[in-house]
Amino acid sequence: MKVLVTGADGFIGSHLAEELVRRGHSVRALAIYTSLGTRGWLDHADPALVGDMEIVTGDVRDSQCMLDLAQGCDAILHLAALIAIPYSYRAPESYIDTNVKGTLNVLKAAMSAGYRHVVHTSTSEVYGTAQHVPIDENHPLNAQSPYAATKVAADQLALSFHRSFELPVTVVRPFNTYGPRQSTRAVIPTIITQLAAGQSQITLGSLQPTRDFTHVSDTVEGFISAMESQAAVGGVVNLGSGFEASIGDTARIIAELMGSKATVMEDSKRLRPKASEVERLLADTRRAQELIGWKPRYGHADGFKEGLKHTIAWFSDPANLARYRVGEYVI
């Protein structure tokens, strides 16, 4: 298939673009334009795989750009988004422009290209703090941050295009993805990079919330399974590990795996506003298993530790660690 991947320069997108090439797909990888000519994580991905991609720079906020890039593609995997929750408190309008208007441009482009299948990226943050666990796709939506609100809007916009115009849309809802290349705005890279740098005390936000951490390779597999299936068109599928751990316990697990006795401290500037913190997330992934044949390779407690070992090895490589400002609060 000829596949357009928006956000291919990002953490998940770069892994996804690589895996699509490995499987023989033709990839048009969209990276956001910068005057430096950089292409995000694609600049540090496998050169052999990147060499087989058609890498283009542009912006999902530009409707004509998306109309042009969608032509000739069989599917669009839409990952481009602003995702940092703290930054959404500071600049919420930019999240509307990218996450909502950008998604509208992708959907319109898919229609113009011949009603191509769109796999749209959601987030577990749209559920807010769990009202029941595990969280299935019928769980109420409760946006607790401007970021989450724009993702709810984008999800509903994508599904409305299926209902209104019969556009083939599948919404994939990953729970907290982790792995190589992730920004230290996320908690697992924050922990690993501080420990890898030899710090005896690491600083985090709230330690009590729980998360369902999903290895990036499982998330990538979920996207491809959704793209290759028609069974979930018009609906939503969760991608999660089926295992939850608190932030504090996650820090202790990582420290144990890295042989560190570092202490963990809460940093007030890393805390979300009280009513904005999502306290608990745990995925029900039965629908993904039933409709697209997906289940996590790194599921449950043992799988989480295996995924962490792989992630720790990548971040502990001095060349990779040097790309991060260790200990600095990144929003």
Same domain (yes/no): 68, 144: yes
**CATH number of the CATH domain containing 69:** 3.40.50.720
pLDDT in tens, 2-58: 999 999 999 999 999 999 999 999 999 999 999 999 999 999 999 999 999 999 999
Same domain (yes/no): 159, 203: no
Burial string for 255-274 (b: 16+ CB within 10 Å, else e) reads beebebebebeeeeebebee
Same domain (yes/no): 85, 102: yes
Same domain (yes/no): 108, 226: yes
In this prediction the pTM is 0.97
CB 282 within 8 A of CB 245: no
63 strand-pairing partners: none
Calpha distance 205→201 (Å, rounded): 13
**φ and ψ at residue 161, rounded to 5 degrees:** -70, -30
Same domain (yes/no): 173, 184: no
pLDDT in tens, 84-99: 999 999 999 999 999 9
**φ and ψ at residue 319, rounded to 5 degrees:** -65, -35
| Torsion angle defined by CA atoms of residues 203, 299, 159 and 97, in that order, rounded to the nearest 10 degrees | 20
Domain that holds residue 190: 179-211+243-281+298-321
Q: Is residue 272 a part of any domain in this protein?
A: yes
Give mean pLDDT, residues 243-261.
Answer: 97
**CATH number of the CATH domain containing 206:** 3.90.25.10
Q: Is residue 331 a part of any domain in this protein?
A: no
Same domain (yes/no): 102, 195: no
Q: Is residue 293 a part of any domain in this protein?
A: no
Same domain (yes/no): 230, 90: yes
Tell me the three-class secondary structure of 153-196, residue by residue: HHHHHHHHHHHHHCCCEEEEEECCEECCCCCCCCHHHHHHHHHH
